[in-house]
Structure 1
Amino acid sequence: MDLPFLVILLLLVCFGLMMLFSAGYAVALYRRGDAYTYIRPQLLFAVLGVIAMYGASFIDYHVWHRLAWPMMGISLVLLTLVLFMPEYNGCKRWIVLPGLGTLQPSEIAKFSVVLVFSHIISLNHDRMKTFSTGVLPFGIILGVVTVLMLLEPHLSGTLLILGIGAVLMFVGGTGLKWFGLAGGAAAGAIAAAVILLPELVPYATDRLESWQNPFADPLGEGHQTIQSLYAIASGGLAGLGLGNSRQKYLYVPEPQNDFIFSILCEELGFVGAAVVILLFLLLLLRGLSIAVRARDRFGALLVVGFVVQVILQAVLNIAVVTNTIPNTGISLPFFSSGGTSLMMLLGEMGIVLSVSRQAD
C-alpha cells in the first residue's frame, strides 16, 4: 500500500483523537458526568475503523462495481427512514440504534454517490459529453438525494454531496456547457425548494442573518460564531497550550463537534492550525498521486471522490468556524466526534489504499 498516504492519514487520526479529548472533556463532564463520554466511543470506532481500513486495503476494489447500486439503494432507504426519527437541534439526521448509539445516513449517502458515479463514468467514459449519459443519470441521483437531505434538513451535507458529484462529473469528462446549464437548474431548484419546502426559508434566513452580523443576536443565532471567533483570536501565534482552552468551558456550544477547529486554534494557535491544514493538503496531493497512477479509470475515480470528500468537508468546516460562510453544521473529518463518520472515512481510505496496491 502507499505508505506516505497511510502515515499522513494516521497522523490526522491521532491528532484528531488528541484534540477531541482536549476539546470535549469539559462539556462531557457537564452534560453526562463523565469526562470520557466522547473520547471513549471515538477511540473504539477509531480502532475498528483502522482494522476495517486495513482489511479493505486487501480487497480488490473492483468488487465495488457490483455493490455500487445496492449501496445506493440502502442509502436512499436510510435517508427516508431518518425522516421518521426524533428531532435533535431542529433536524432529523440520526437513526437511533437501541443499545448501539446512532447512525447518520448522510455519511453512507456520500460513500454511495462516489461509488455509483465512479461506476457509471468508468462504464460510459466515451459518451460522457452527451446529455443522456454525461448529465441525466447523475442529475437524477443528485436530485433524489438532495430532496431527501433537504427534508432533514441537512444543508451542509447536501452541498458536500453536490460538490463531490460535480468534481467526479468534471473529472469523468462531462461537457463544460452542461455545468453552465446546471447552474441555472440549481437556481430553479432553490426556487422550487423555497416554494415546496417553506420550513427551509426561516431556517436558511436565520443562518444567513447570523453570518452577516453574528453580534446582532449574541445570545441566539450568533452565539456559536461569536464564541468561535473569540477562541480563534485568543490563540494567537502559538496558542494557550494543549488543554488550556477557556472557550471549551461551555462557551462554544459544540466544542467536540462542529467547532473543534476553533478550540484547536485557541490551544495550539496559528502554528497548530497551519499543521492541520498542511496535513489535509498533503493527504490531497498524495491521494491525487495515487489516482494518477491507478491501473484503471474506476480506481482513479474512487480515489478522487473519497479524497475530495475529505478535503471539501474540511474546507467547509474551517470556513464555518472562521465565519467565512454561514453556519451549515458540518464536522471536521477525523477530528469531530462521530462514530459513523469516522468509520466510513477510514473505510473509504481503505479503498484508496486498495487502489494504491494495484497502482502502476
Structure 2
Amino acid sequence: MFTLLETATHSALTPVWFVLVAVLWVGFFFLEGFDFGVAMLLPILGRTDKRKRVMVNTIGPTWDGNEVWLLTAGGATFAAFPGWYATLFSGIYLPLLLVLVGLILRGVAFEYRSKRPEMSHRNLMDWMATIGSFLPSLVLGVGFANFVKGLEVGGNPPLVTTGFWQLFTPFSLLGGVLFVVLFCAHGAVFVALKTKGEVHDDARKLAIGLAFAAAGLSMVWAVWMNVVHAPTHPAAHAITWVLGLVAALAVAGAALLTARGRDGSAFIATSIGVVGLIVPMFLKMYGNLGFISSGDPGLDMWSASSSPYTLKIMTIAAAIFVPIVLAYQAWSYWVFRKRISVQNLPVEAAEPVPAATGA
C-alpha cells in the first residue's frame, strides 16, 4: 500500500513541478526580458551619459531581483529533475557558460558604473552591460528553439549526442534573433513607461519599429513551430497555435498602443507577447523535456524527476516562500513606480569628468 501511495504521489507532483519550473522561466523572461532590452538599447537611446544613467536607473532597483528568477529556475530544475539538469550540462555546457559570462558582465557593469567618474570607465561599463544582455538573450533563444526541435540523447546514463554546431539550425537561429528583438521591444516600451522628457519620446519612437519587427518574427516563429515542430497531442497543438498567434498580435498591438501614448497598455501587450512565446515551448517540452531519445533507457519527465519525498518537501517549501517573494517583488515595483528624467539626476552622477590625457 505504501508503494502504491508513493507512486501516486510521484505521478501527481512530477507534472506539478514541471509546470512550476515553466512558470519560473516565464517569470524570468517576462521580468528579465525588459532588463535585457534596456541594456541592449543603451548604445541607441543613451546618446549622452545623462540619458544612459536614466535608462540604467529605470531597472537599477529591480534588475538583480529579476535575475533571481533564473537562479530559482535552475535550482528547481536541479532539485526536482536532476536527470534533466545533468543531461543538459552534458551537451550544452558551452552555451550555458556563455549565458553565465553574459550575466557576470552585466552584473559588474551595473554595480561598478558609478564607482568612477571617467567617461572611459562608464562607456566600458555600458558596453559590458549591452554585451552581457545580448549574449544571454541570443543563446537562450537558440537553446529553447533546440528544446522545441528536440535534442538527441542516448546512452546509459543518457547524454546529449547533438553536436555543438548542430545547434545552429535556421530554426534555432530564428529563435535567437526573435528573443533579441522581442526583448529590445519589451525594453523600449519599459523605458517609455518609466521615463519622461526626451528619453521617453525617443524610446516611444524606437519601440514602435521594434514591436512591429518582433511581431513579424513572432508570426514566422509560430507558423514554423506549429507546422514543423508541433506537439503531438492535438489539444497541446491547438493551444500552441492560439498562443503563438496571440503573442504576435499582442506585440503588434503594443506598437499601435505606443503610438497612441498608452505606455502602460503597451507594456502589458509586450508582456503577453513574451508569455505567449515561452508557454508553447514548454507545452512542446512536456513529457520529453525537449529530448529525443535514441536508445534505452531514454529520458522523460518521470525518469528524470526526484523521489516522491523530495518533491513533497519542495512543494511545501514553495507554498510557503513563493508568495512571500512575489509580495516583496510586487512591493518593490510599487515603491519605484514613478517616472524619471535627466532632471532627476544628481549633479555628480550626471556630469562625469573626462579621462586624464597626461601632461
Length-normalised TM-score, structure 2:
0.33
Q: Greater helix percent: which structure? A: 2
| Larger-Rg structure | 2
Length-normalised TM-score, structure 1:
0.32
